[in-house]
Structures are given as structure tokens and as C-alpha cells.
Structure 1
């Protein structure tokens, strides 16, 4: 057996647990992998595979191990014979009790759906009794037998079964408390005037159910701990996928419960429990992409105090823009369409907290009040909500809005069919929002309520909703949940493609984008990336003229700080030209825009702008794609770091690919190529394709994607 290189074996690896994919440490530049200190390592590879001596004589340690193993085998065999008959009886009784408990749980859920909270509570209590009965039946086999059964592959089903039963018991208790919370919410609804949202105190509802949700969260956590001890192989094959889905949901909901418990005081502040709060809403149209999700065509102001919505006003963005008196120089690409910078172009920076502060600044300069936070939303959220609540009749506009026609019909009303005398093209949106909100708040159907929560959470994970708060504690919570739209920090590889539609009409609604990324690890450990960005325009034959125009796009590619561009092709060579003499006209300069443009280097041969933003190197350029045509931009660049095997025979590569906020998701693939002599010790995610000399992941970039691998260099790991 070949000897492992002595100084290389005594180490271990740890994963960072904080971040969007539980693998990346944000803000402070944490590594994907770390070599642990000697004290952290519980064993070494040498201890496992190379005993300190080989002895053919008597060894007390060896004999004790053999005796102990024999004892366990004897217990298993004798115990198996003794409990065989009893085991069959227990199995039958446990299955019957489990089936009854499951039936009780389903009836309880139906009771909540039908607002029959009394029967629901009784069914949850009966489910708990049945789970307790099943647990008692299993204990008749003896706790000792059940405890040691998990160590034997052929008997571990016994331990898994007990853990499932105990998990069910905790879920039943959680259900009882959720039922109490649902009943309280229903009573609040009954007391409220369904047509007057101002009579509903969200804070009163929140505080009344806070303890119930806290208890339910604790029980969910206990259920999760039991489910984590269940071996997937112990379950019937046809049930394994269902169990895996349940387990992933348990992780999510128990995490949400933890967040709720830890941050409930922050939510009280958010709802105006510590004084009135104002939030600026930005409605971003992702058919006309901008850095944080789309062109800001409308805005809203939500005023909330003591949990009651005092006012929710929605208006077209150009109304406040018309009140702006200060003249500010816009970013150079924006100068193609706007001589001055204002609120509707404020979302220039892909890092949403930065753009949110710009929006607040412009809103205040137009005479708007100081706000406590910003919420950005794309049409995808309303489409999902319409799927949930059903069609909304709007006779004033001669239409019925559905999830399928929402984008087309509202775009038509806004662009063409609005009252020219009233001159309020966004009125349909301000009329629709309270109607949908009323459908949601007046519904007593838990399916609708939970469905709205699911829409909300999915929209946050896909960055169709972005949050920014000036409350530092609340902002930390938003950031930790991945809801902030921040540019994340990682010491591994990174990419994010940011599109900004500049005078390209609404054509992003008919442009399909695909990103192909390849990282080639060289023999010396250096890494060269190639990225091909394909954009296909499917418009040109639409009845709506705004989908038949050329897509004019300012593209920014964010990569690790210090990356060097080797070559690029497929872009349009174009240089910025200011429409005004801003200095002579005494326009003010924005410090963040000025900083970005002053450190920008422009290649006069290919038109590429290279600069730094949000801790990244940025390559920026123009692209144009006409209807029914397709373009491909290819970039090749060298990463600022390399794999180093001098101090260890293993190393790692990782990539964080961040989707652009508000986009509907690009096609995405990433390939890791590595030279001969390397082998993969570990890779993530599980569905990554492995073949000789490379790893490949194909996914839709509708959420941030992460992949990584631990590699070993055989040339130094074995001598």
C-alpha cells in the first residue's frame, strides 16, 4: 500500500455556514474552504488507514475490539430471535396508529381550511395521541434494542421508524399551535371591515399569534432534528423523493421559525410598532431591464403606523421627477437618453442598497418625505398573485386581468389606451393593487394565505422583490436571508451579467439570454475563464410595436477583483459622448458615479470599459440585437488567484454565479476543466455532471447558483 505523504495528511476541511448557499461567507470575504487548525481535527488519514504497527502476536486492544464486536453481534442475533414474534405484532400496531395519525393530520388541515378550528384542534390532539401510542408500542421492544439498531445496516429501519414517529408527534404539536394562530387571524378578519384595510392592525395580529408561532417553531425544529436521523435507504423506494422534499421544506420552515423568533422585535418596528413608518415602493418593469430589475415606471408610498396601513399611494414616476429642481450629471450611458439624472434612472448600481439610497435621495429632492426603506417589485410578482387569487375584472378599462395577460394588457393601457386628458397612464396599476390586496386579506382560505406566503418567498429568492431598510438590524436580517439584492463577496470565482436597456423599448421581454461559463485550471494552478453570452431577439412579429424594436443594451460583466481580460469579441464598439457641457451649466456630480467613472479605463480599440465596483472588476460594453437575430459575446480572462498545492495536496475551486435582480432567469451552464493528475475528492451540488477531466452544471439562472469542488494532486499526494 503506498504511503501518504506524512506532512500532508493531518488536516481537515470546514464549510462556512453563513451566506446565500450556505457555502459563502458574506461581507468579510470568507473562504469557501479552510484548512482547520490541528486542534480542530479529530483524526488523521494516517490513523485511519495506517496503524502505528502491524502485530501478529497478542494485542489487548485488538482483542477487546473483537470481543466488543462479538458481543454486539450476539445481542443482535439473540435479540432478533427473541423479538421476532413481538416485532411483527408491534409493526402492525405501529402502522395502524401511524395511519390514523396521518388521517387526523389531514382532517385537521381541512378544518383550518374550512375555518372549523374546533374540529381541527381535536384532530391535531388525536394525531398526537396516535403518535404517542405508536411510540409506546415501539418502546415495548426495548429502548436499548432500538438505540443500537441504528448501528446495524440490516436493523436501522427500527431506529428510523421511531424517529419518524417522534417527528410526527412534534409536527402534531406544531399543528395545534398553528391552528390557534389561524383561529386568531380569522377572528381579526371577522371583526374588520373587508373593504377597509385601515381597520386591520397587522401589528395586533402579529403580537396575538407571536407566542403560538414561537412554540410551533420550536416543535418544527425538534421534528427536523428527528427527521435528520432518518436514513433515506430505510424508506420504501417510492417514498424517498417525497421524504426528501419534506425534509428540505422542514429545513426551510424551521429556519424561518428561527428567524421569526430572533427578529420578532425588528418586525414590530417594521410594522410601525415603535412609531409611524414610510416605505418607498419602486415598480420596476423587467421588460425594460435596468441594473436592479427594470425601468422604474411607477412608484408608491406606503405609510403604516401601529400595524395599520394609513395610506398606500401609487403614481407615475414622472410626476415627482417633474418636481426635481437640482441638476445632477447622470452616468454616461444614461446620457444617451436623459440629459439629467433623476428618480426613474436612479437604479443604476447593481448593488441594490446603493441604488435604494439613490432613490431615497432623489425622492427627497423632489419634495417627497423621508422614508424608512425601499421595496422594489417586478411584474412577475403580480402575475404570481393573479394565479393565486384568480381573474380581476376591471370594467373601467374594459378588461379582465389574469396572470396570462397581465403584462400585455397593462403595458397597452400604460402606453396607448389611457385617458389623455387625465394624463395618468399608470392609473390601472394604482387601481389594481388594492383589489388584489383585498382579495388576499379578506380570504379565510389557508391555501390562499399560505400561497401568498409562498409567492412572497419565491419572489424574494428570485429577486423579483428586493428590500432595503435604514434600520441596521432589519437590514442585517434582510441581508442574511439573501433578500437584499447585494453583490456578494467570495474569495472564489464569481460572475454576474448585468443588462441595462438604454432606449431599447420593452424588448427585454422578447430577448432570451444564455450564459456559458468555462473555468480551465492550468497545470501551474492558474485559472482561465471563458464566458459566452448569447442573446436572441424573438420579437419582430408582435402586434405590440415596443416588442419589435432593436434591443439596445449596456452590458456589465462582474468578475473577481483583479481579473485580467485576455480577449473579447461580439460586442459593439461604441464610446460615450456627453450631450451637454455639464461643467459650464454647473450640474452637480454624484460622488458614486464620479468615483466609478474616474477609475474607469477605456480601451480605444474594442470599446471595453474596465473599472471596479462593489469589490469586483467590471467589464462594460454595448450590445445591439435586432428582431429575429442573435448575437454572441465571448470573453476570455485570467483569474487573480491560482490553486496552490505547495502546502497541501488538496485545494478547491468554487464559483458563485449571481442572477441579475428582476430578470426572469438566463440559461446557464458552467464547466470546470482540470488537467491530468488531478482527481475530484468532493463536488457540489449533487447533480453536477462528472466526466473525465471536467465537471459541468446546467441550470436556469433564476436564483443565485453555486458550485465547487475539492481537488487532489496525485503527483504529491502519493509518493
Structure 2
């Protein structure tokens, strides 16, 4: 073969050079591709960062506007609130748009920032949904529809409002559930804190809309839209403490028909007399409280579970009168004092005028100091009639009225039980029901007070409670430490025989209080100490809670301290949160809860 020849040794070198050139070409192509992809990634990251900055700005603006809207709604400045809502919708919509482009969606799948971008997106969607679908309805709802005017509620208007509130509640509950499902463990601190804060706000809003929806749906049948109804309204007397607030003293029958309300006959629990043999009780109730709840109408609420107390009182009333009521409503004089601040003073014919700041003292102290038993009953009956007529006929600011009712329900000073199971199922879970739950998301310790003196010294007691959450245990439980103190402001002399009563503590000025401590659901009570010394206590169970009962006797001016260590159940303790359920007293409790870090 002519031409330049290639030796056998040269051929491998040429093949090596061609291979290296191909490798360098592949490397250049790979590098070029890498540069393109990297540039796109950097561009995308920059775009996501820019959009994130936009979203953050819009979300911060929305948060400020939401706070402003809340203030304007509470202040009944409807015109300004409408303008604020419009601005909020613009900012919320912009935040939603800023987190919904291709770059943001791609960023949600990246290994490091993806969870944070997803969480920010969910925050934006939640606020926008609320601004567009929930807040407008809540803003235009006529709250006066939920209140009686001239002793009557407009049932057709109430039904129309109920439909809107149901739709609003569905939006809020859907948003609440969606945000609750967002994982937070791997989020950066600012995003995690933002999710936690929004969840907290949504918890409150979801509770509010669920209650409003339930109330709007329940009120028409409760108020006799489908036929006449009757209820027992009982006054709890915190001067003689019972677990739900106070002894069931005076009562009145409330009749409802087509939204019209009127007060019927009145009486007292003492007039219903003694029931012997006692009404049938569940074994766990009898074990803790003996037969007393089934014997005496004033003792039906030794148990803190209001449905049990209400059902017993209804049965006693039926056996004595032959009349069957549809439910039981319980209130106390503190509720009256709240309402009087909205309505103004209420004159009581033949007696003193009831004034907001003085009503509790007038009803729980002065009446027992200055009147005999017959005069007391007459005064309480006249006060109930005057207050009822005022609350259902006087023109008041509906927002102020509903605000004080909400406060009273939150403090468990207003309780309601319906004898109609389908209605009671709607009420259950709301504080209005006074139902001691057998399951709970947050471990809750109950501290319930029952008078053991047979006296009216509860007015002078000042209770306080501190609950400290302990560390995580391998079995998923936690120990909680309760420190309960009870101080007496009673004088050492000068009280009437009506106040001193039976004086079962020996010294008539010493207040004997039976303190029941209920463990969290599924939990247990470990140790009990009174003033630092272990003491014998009664024990039992109620609604999946272990209970101890300690006798705490307090002399005038003295303070006693009860310390109880309890164990939580296996659910709900990981968060480190805890709660207290307390007997409402004439003077509000002083409380403190010391939570613990989340268990890993």
C-alpha cells in the first residue's frame, strides 16, 4: 500500500488521542449542560427568593390588616372594617399568587428548602381562603339576630343566618385541617413559628365558628320553632360551693314558643325535698359521692360532669311536679354581674337595685347577712324576674352582649344540657355542655370544690392553682405537679347564722372544702400532700380519670396548700402542653401553667 504508513506502535497512540478528544468533548458537553442547568437552578433560586420576598411582604401586610380588622369588628366600625377587608383580600391574593408559579412549585420538590416553601404556600392559601370565603360572611352577619328583641327571637332570620354560618364554618374547618396536616419538624424556625402562630389563631377561629354554627342551628328548635319547649333555669350559688360552680338553689321554668320566651313558675331546690330511696346513680358516682346526688337536689352537682347533674335535677323536678322539661340551663351571679355591665342597673321592686360591680356581693353576701330565709327566697325570685325581663327586652349592643356571654361560657359559668339526644350531641365538646371528656388532646387536670361546712363561706374563699409539666417518659406519659392553695378572707366574727350554716368543720368560721383532683383522661394520681405532709384521701374513678378527694379546712385569714402529682395518659402529652378545669368561684382563680418542651 502506497502513502504514509502507520506502524503498529503508532496505532494505539492515535486511538488514545481520539479517545481523549472524545472524552474532552463529552466533558465539555457535560460542563456546558451543567452550566446551563446550574444557571437555571440559580435563576430559579433567585426567582423563588424574589417571589418569597414578595410573599413575605404580602403576608406581613395581611397579618397587620387582619389585626386591624379584628379591632374594627370588635369596635363595631363596620364601614372601616369593610375597607380593611378589601385591602386584606388584595394582600392575601397577592401572597397566594406569589407562591403559585412554576419556579415556586419546582422549589417545593428540592431536598432542603422544599418543606419550607410548601409550608409558606399553605399559609398563603389559608389566609386567602379565609379572606375571601369566611371573613365576608362573618362581617356581614347581623349579630342582633342571635339576641331576643322584646322577649322574642326572629326565627326566620335566625334560620337564614344559620345557613351562612354553616358555610363559613365549613371553610374555616377545612382550612384548619389542611394547616394542621403541614409537617413542621424540619422547617426553619421563622416558618415553623409562623405555622404555629397561624394554627393557634385558627384554633380559636374554628372554635368560634363551630360554636356560632351550632348555636344558629340549635336555637330555632330550642326556642320552640317546631313546638313549645320548657327548661329549668337554675341559679348556682358559689357561696356554697359545688363542683360545677355552686349549689343549685333557686330555679325558674322558662317557656319558649315560636321564639317567644316567658318566665313561668319559680321555686327552690329545698322545696323539692329529700328523695328516699335515692335516684339511681352509676356505681362510680356513688363510690365517690355516696348517695347524696340522688337524694338532695342541692347535691346533684357534687360531680363536675354537668349532664349527670342536669339529668338528675330534671328527674327530681318531674317526680315532684309531674312536669317534664326539655333541658336545664345553669347560671351564677357572676354571669349576672357581667350582663349588668351591658344592660345597666336593674331595679328590683321592693328591694335594692342590682348594679354590675356590686351584684355578686349583693346576692352572695349582703342577702345572707341582712335577710332571713323567707326574705332571701323572695329577693332571689324578684331579682330573677327583673333580670330576665331586662335582658330580653332592653336594647343593648349585640357585640357587647355576646362578648360577655362568651366570657361567661369560657369560664364555665353558663352550662346547658338538652334532654333531646340529637341536640345534646351538637352541644357536646363545647364548654357550654360542661361535659367532662373521656378523651382529650391536651392533658387536663380537674380541680373541683365541694363545700363540706354546710355554710355560705364560699364567697370568702380565694383559690389558686399552678400546674407544672414534667419531662418525657419512655412510656409516652408525663408527670404533672399541681400546687393548689386556698385562702380564706372570712372575718373571725360578725357573720350571720345564714352564712355560718351548720358549721360542720367544728369552728363555724372555718371553711371545710372537699377538693376533688381529677387526673387527665387515662391517667392516674400518684401522690397527695397537704401543707407538705402526706394525708389520707378518698379515691375513685370518674369518666376514665382517677380521682382523689382531700378535706381542706381553712380558718379566717389562713392559707392551705395541697400538692398532687398526677400522671397523664399516653395521648396528647408529647407536646408538653397541659390545661386546668376548675370550679367557677365567686372570685376568679389565680392560675399558672408551666409547659415543657416537646418530646422528640
TM-score for both structures, normalised by structure 2? 0.69
Residue of structure 1 equivalent to 2:515: 555
Distance 1:485 1:72, change over 3 A: same
Deviation at 1:475, TM superposition (A): 1.7
In the alignment, is the contact (CA less than 8 A) between 1:224 and 1:250 conserved in 2?
yes
In the alignment, is the contact (CA less than 8 A) between 1:286 and 1:294 conserved in 2?
yes
In the alignment, is the contact (CA less than 8 A) between 1:504 and 1:551 conserved in 2?
no
Alignment equivalent of 1:534, drawn from 485, 497, 502: 485
In the alignment, is the contact (CA less than 8 A) between 1:127 and 1:172 conserved in 2?
no
Alignment equivalent of 2:547, drawn from 618, 636, 641: 618
Deviation at 1:395, TM superposition (A): 6.2
In the alignment, is the contact (CA less than 8 A) between 1:168 and 1:223 conserved in 2?
no
In the alignment, is the contact (CA less than 8 A) between 1:271 and 1:307 conserved in 2?
yes
Runs of 5+ consecutive residues of structure 1 not aligned to the other structure:
1-57, 115-119, 574-605, 644-650, 671-686, 691-708, 712-719
- Structure 1 position 630 matched with structure 2 position 559: yes
Indicate the SS of the match to 1:282.
strand
- Structure 1 position 257 matched with structure 2 position 209: yes
Distance 1:264 1:74, change over 3 A: same
State the alpha-carbon separation in 1 of the partners of residues 418 and 238 from structure 2. Answer: 23
Residue of structure 2 equivalent to 1:38: none
State the alpha-carbon separation in 2 of the partners of residues 275 and 394 from structure 1. Answer: 32
State the alpha-carbon separation in 2 of the partners of residues 568 and 106 from structure 1. Answer: 46
- Structure 1 position 144 matched with structure 2 position 112: no
State the alpha-carbon separation in 2 of the partners of residues 524 and 264 from structure 1. Answer: 46
State the alpha-carbon separation in 2 of the partners of residues 552 and 710 from structure 1. Answer: 40
Deviation at 1:535, TM superposition (A): 1.9
Indicate the SS of the match to 2:323.
coil
- Structure 1 position 660 matched with structure 2 position 595: no
- Structure 1 position 296 matched with structure 2 position 248: yes
Q: Once the two structures are superposed, what CA deviation does each residue of 1:568-623 show, in whole Å capped at 9, x if it has no partner?
A: 555999xxxxxxxxxxxxxxxxxxxxxxxxxxxxxxxx653333333333323422
Structure 2 counterparts to residues 112-511 of structure 1, below 5 A? 124=82, 144=101, 147=104, 167-170=130-133, 173-174=136-137, 177-178=140-141, 181=142, 185=145, 194=150, 197=151, 200-217=152-169, 248=200, 251-258=203-210, 266-321=218-273, 326=276, 328=278, 341-367=295-321, 369-394=323-348, 396-399=350-353, 401-411=354-364, 412-413=366-367, 416-417=370-371, 424-438=378-392, 442-443=395-396, 448-490=397-439, 495-503=445-453, 505-511=455-461
Q: How many residues align?
A: 537
Deviation at 1:284, TM superposition (A): 0.7
Residue of structure 1 equivalent to 2:9: none
Q: Once the two structures are superposed, what CA deviation does each residue of 1:179-208 show, in whole Å capped at 9, x if it has no partner?
A: xx458x49x98xx6x3xx1xx244233124
Deviation at 1:628, TM superposition (A): 0.8
Deviation at 1:471, TM superposition (A): 1.9
Higher relative contact order by CA 8 Å / sep ≥ 6: 1 or 2? Answer: 1
Structure 2 counterparts to residues 5-16 of structure 1, below 5 A? none
TM-score for both structures, normalised by structure 1? 0.59
Greater Cα shift, 556-565 or 206-215: 556-565
In the alignment, is the contact (CA less than 8 A) between 1:505 and 1:549 conserved in 2?
no
Q: Once the two structures are superposed, what CA deviation does each residue of 1:202-244 show, in whole Å capped at 9, x if it has no partner?
A: 4233124333434554666688799999x99999xxxx99x99
Structure 2 counterparts to residues 83-102 of structure 1, below 5 A? none
Q: Once the two structures are superposed, what CA deviation does each residue of 1:23-72 show, in whole Å capped at 9, x if it has no partner?
A: xxxxxxxxxxxxxxxxxxxxxxxxxxxxxxxxxxx9xxxx9999867524
State the alpha-carbon separation in 1 of the partners of residues 468 and 48 from structure 2. Answer: 57
State the alpha-carbon separation in 2 of the partners of residues 234 and 460 from structure 1. Answer: 35
State the alpha-carbon separation in 2 of the partners of residues 112 and 408 from structure 1. Answer: 32
In the alignment, is the contact (CA less than 8 A) between 1:334 and 1:502 conserved in 2?
no
Q: Once the two structures are superposed, what CA deviation does each residue of 1:356-409 show, in whole Å capped at 9, x if it has no partner?
A: 22111211122151122112212221122122333334463243x322211111
Residue of structure 2 equivalent to 1:693: none
State the alpha-carbon separation in 1 of the partners of residues 276 and 305 from structure 2. Answer: 24
Distance 1:520 1:215, change over 3 A: closer
Indicate the SS of the match to 1:509.
helix
Residue of structure 2 equivalent to 1:701: none
Q: Higher helix fraction: Structure 1 or Structure 2?
A: 2
Distance 1:176 1:475, change over 3 A: closer
Q: Once the two structures are superposed, what CA deviation does each residue of 1:456-480 show, in whole Å capped at 9, x if it has no partner?
A: 2332232112222222222222222
Q: RMSD of the alignment, in Å?
A: 5.7
Q: Once the two structures are superposed, what CA deviation does each residue of 1:545-579 show, in whole Å capped at 9, x if it has no partner?
A: 54892101223233367847666555999xxxxxx
Distance 1:449 1:312, change over 3 A: farther
Residue of structure 2 equivalent to 1:590: none
In the alignment, is the contact (CA less than 8 A) between 1:326 and 1:365 conserved in 2?
no
Q: Higher strand fraction: Structure 1 or Structure 2?
A: 1
Deviation at 1:167, TM superposition (A): 4.9
In the alignment, is the contact (CA less than 8 A) between 2:466 and 2:592 conserved in 1?
yes
In the alignment, is the contact (CA less than 8 A) between 2:99 and 2:121 conserved in 1?
no
Runs of 5+ consecutive residues of structure 2 not aligned to the other structure:
1-26, 501-507
State the alpha-carbon separation in 2 of the partners of residues 255 and 452 from structure 1. Answer: 19
Deviation at 1:669, TM superposition (A): 5.3
In the alignment, is the contact (CA less than 8 A) between 2:513 and 2:553 conserved in 1?
yes
Q: Once the two structures are superposed, what CA deviation does each residue of 1:616-651 show, in whole Å capped at 9, x if it has no partner?
A: 3332342211101122334567x59899xxxxxxx9
In the alignment, is the contact (CA less than 8 A) between 2:44 and 2:103 conserved in 1?
no
Q: Point out the structure with max Rg over C-alpha.
A: 2
